[in-house]
Structure 1
């Protein structure tokens, strides 16, 4: 990859108080309607085809695919009149390190070996050529949660230094379906694998192993196998990430059941006990050994930022985001090696271009600036958006809202719009009005247990206080033909998530994606008017 020169980044201000104004203007002029109607499926499909083509090699960070993607975005946004969003550059440098664990490893537990890929996936976040567990005692720590506000601490009274903690995925609310426990069926951040490794590290554990189960994880074992193998990207830190556990990884539920039996425990009963309250138990005399040999490479990737300056308050911005990256290619495979990432997320990246073009076609620029941001390394743990949040080009206090587009619907129109994190902020009101004009209503997260509000790039913006909206085509098909199409496409779309088969198909119906983009355009247009500042709801954890 040829080197792309970025600029020194500006350090963001922390978010300050916003002017409350809940009046939503709904008049849409003929000129705005023309821009709205300019969003079309033909152009979106062309963008998806290019970005997910084999030539782009799966768009992994710091590869040829990144260079091609950034070049494509630069040409597209320059052609419609957007300006560089980071000083005189379209790029924000994101220094990263890739750590690729050799698959030639076994997890040995009291003399029995478990195989990489089929039964377990292990790795490390430490920037190191070699890490290991050597006869590290196993301790089951339930959900691995330390949450004072819920009066819950699975580590209470437990010293895990030198030990390896074994952890359930998701959180207790999902297991019990008790709406009063955590957030009931809806996953909280405590249920995310990122949190569980972070907390195990804070507790001083030597290793952390999450038990995969499809229902609470919301994805199958193949996602773990494909997403956690190959290069894993992270930030370059002064301590080389030595504060993280030495080894972190996953085992499947069959292995877990066997291990609990070997420890004289019953896995199903242990899960029941873990959901009742703070819980941990030693796993008999079981101990884990595994050697992780790594190939470590420091690299630079880039966030892409382009701005259409506002006509009266250009220092205030509405930011549209999508992640441009995917999983790249796996050279160890025979035959198809490329994870093209057509739905995830060539669709969202193409949508960024379409929405930007609609704003560019307005006869008068919006009052506030419209900023288009395609971020890197979402698939590696939202790294690009996290880096931007910590090194904001636009101060948080000057960012009115974030609208995120990730994995658009490709199976036709719906009579509803699924809002992930419904009730978090007043942005729901704006989207509701835009959807109503299309004859649609807004609905909540169709899969609350998956914790999707915490799994895409808007989360980084929410974490620094910026109201963030993430929504997509709903689950109620608009007619019988669309219902039949969803039955036809459903299994393949589910199977192809983070798999080689996520490629563009002529069988797709992009009409629902177009409606979504048009609604997102209208929401951004209304937010671009001066003195409109959407607020977090009183019950949102992000309000504070």
Structure 2
């Protein structure tokens, strides 16, 4: 079953729907306002009168009770379009950011449909728009979902996985804040992947992509990023990735011919599928850790 959500709602405005009576909630709202307004995004799109669309698919669950709860996979389908020409090329393709994420969701959906029996909870596949302008599409969906928002138990977001090296370890952004850490651990163990702490906590990456729209709605969420482990310890993956991003991030050179390692993509898709599958199969609903900043007030 497919549905379309259409609208223009900025997370900058959505921030003010948070209960401001809690100091912790005020912090959430201020963080969201900062993200949306830092570069003049979000509100500007409202006044421009642009219309965007999210594309949503539903895979029904099989449990008589849990089928009315949902695990959602998200990935943004927009990039920056046509821009200033670099070396004569003005088409900003966005192959890594975030066509690779959308392709991952399509493969995850295909994998679910091939199962002999669907999981207990239902699965939503959400390709959301206007992430680059301030998480607009995911904010709209979280505020106007195609299913009751209280029935969405978890979000697994995919945004620019940067599949340019063997995937041996991951940094699951957001996992330490909720019971989803157990689902990540189970999936990583099955694939032989190492779990690493966020090497750049000062960058606050957990609140900088579409998963944050669901966090604001009280829904535990994840964003799986690459780790730093390499087959050869002399190879600095962090430096290699930084150099690649400096050359290609939000530039026309972000193309399908530029650095994709498909064996890593396969592992990445398997990991995200296993995480959502384990959530969908587990009777106990995911929850924020007791006293966690993101769970306060929910």
1:235 matched to which residue of 2? 46
Which of 21, 26, 33 lines up with 1:194 in the alignment?
33
Shift of 1:334: 7.8
1:475 matched to which residue of 2? 228
In 2: Cα distance, 1:501 partner to 1:191 partner: 34
Q: TM-score if structure 1 supplies the norm length?
A: 0.47
Give the RMSD, CA atoms, in angstroms: 3.2
SS in 2 for 1:513: helix
1:529 matched to which residue of 2? 281
2:265 matched to which residue of 1? 513
Q: TM-score if structure 2 supplies the norm length?
A: 0.83
1:372 matched to which residue of 2? 125
In 1: Cα distance, 2:248 partner to 2:43 partner: 20
Shift of 1:486: 7.0
Mark the CA change 1:235 to 1:190 in structure 2 (over 3 Å): closer, same or farther: closer
In 2: Cα distance, 1:454 partner to 1:485 partner: 24
Mark the CA change 1:377 to 1:505 in structure 2 (over 3 Å): closer, same or farther: same
Mark the CA change 1:334 to 1:435 in structure 2 (over 3 Å): closer, same or farther: closer
SS in 1 for 2:116: coil
SS in 2 for 1:370: strand
Shift of 1:324: 0.4
Mark the CA change 1:190 to 1:306 in structure 2 (over 3 Å): closer, same or farther: closer
1:99-114 alignment to 2 at 5 Å? none
Which of 248, 251, 255 lines up with 1:496 in the alignment?
248
Q: Which structure dedicates a bigger proportion of its chain to strand?
A: 1
1:354 matched to which residue of 2? 107
Which of 441, 457, 463 lines up with 2:194 in the alignment?
441
SS in 2 for 1:379: helix
1:336 matched to which residue of 2? 89
Shift of 1:461: 0.5
In 1: Cα distance, 2:170 partner to 2:88 partner: 38
Shift of 1:506: 5.2
8 Å Cα contact 1:409-1:510 kept in structure 2: no
Mark the CA change 1:321 to 1:494 in structure 2 (over 3 Å): closer, same or farther: same
8 Å Cα contact 1:318-1:371 kept in structure 2: yes
1:407 matched to which residue of 2? 160
8 Å Cα contact 1:321-1:375 kept in structure 2: yes
SS in 2 for 1:499: coil
Deviations 1:316-371 (A, max 9, x none): 11100000001110267782111111111111111000111111110112222111
1:388 matched to which residue of 2? 141
Shift of 1:299: 2.7
Count of residues in Structure 1 that have an aligned counterpart in Structure 2 = 285
Shift of 1:457: 0.5
Are residues 1:397 and 2:150 paired? Answer: yes
2:60 matched to which residue of 1? 309
Q: Which structure dedicates a bigger proportion of its chain to helix?
A: 2
1:92 matched to which residue of 2? 5
Shift of 1:439: 1.8
Shift of 1:422: 3.9
8 Å Cα contact 2:78-2:98 kept in structure 1: yes
Shift of 1:189: 5.6
In 2: Cα distance, 1:333 partner to 1:493 partner: 16
8 Å Cα contact 1:341-1:498 kept in structure 2: yes
1:39-58 alignment to 2 at 5 Å? none
Where in structure 2 are there 5+ consecutive unaligned residues?
Answer: 13-21
SS in 2 for 1:299: coil
Mark the CA change 1:322 to 1:385 in structure 2 (over 3 Å): closer, same or farther: same
